[in-house]
Amino acid sequence: MINIARTETAPDCLKKQQNYECENVLEKLKIDFFGKCYICETSLFSTNVEHFKAHRGDKKLKFEWTNLFLACGHCNNIKLSTDILNCTDSKHDVENWISYKPIFVPVGEVEISAKRKNKLTIDTVNILNKVYNGHTNIKTTDAQKIKDEIVKEMIVLQRLLLQYSKEKYNELEITDIEKDIRKKLHKGSKLTAFKRQVIKDNKLKFLLS
């Protein structure tokens, strides 16, 4: 999960309060969330328009633009009505309040932990651990698909960092390598939080600028 600055202007069709999936809602959400689920940061599963806060029949919440998020079926089914950190709220520093320990082989557990010990962060971490590791037979199977993607992304990042270390005194080569690394760290990249964690843990924060 990473922080997202979303479009403030809501699609006009939401004012009618008839269908929260009306006209350009999904298209605008895909642009705001870079076409990936805001929780797992992949596009591996079916796309849902999710209510961040369960509306429970409240029309305002049901059609409130800022309450509509781009999620996938896997994550939406795990989160349900749980209150978690809001990645579109600048007051919720999701990238620094949560720690991601990636895997480099597609076995074992992905470790997500809370750096900030409050209920909202801890509940978010619990959801993320279920998302990435599974908690039922079906969800564990789905989580394995995400683990496979984590490994693929880590391999590519490792290769780029190895190149970076090898060519760090070659200004001509290093510029292109830095560009490739920054693409992998961009909000639009898959599983960005895991890759940014590797960069922060290895004192390469300047690559995040």
Give tens-digit pLDDT for 121-178.
999 999 999 999 999 999 999 999 999 999 999 999 999 999 998 988 788 788 999 9
The Cα 147–Cα 169 span in angstroms is 35
What pLDDT shows up at residue 173? 84
Q: Residue 139: what pLDDT? A: 96
- pLDDT at res. 23: 82
Q: Are 115 and 98 in contact (CB under 8 A)?
A: yes
- pLDDT of 209 over the 80 cut: no
Q: In Å, what is the CA distance from 38 to each residue of 10, 16, 17, 49, 105? A: 18, 26, 24, 11, 24
pLDDT tens for 62-116 read 999 999 999 999 999 999 999 999 999 999 999 999 999 999 998 889 999 999 9
Segment holding 110, helix H or strand E:
none
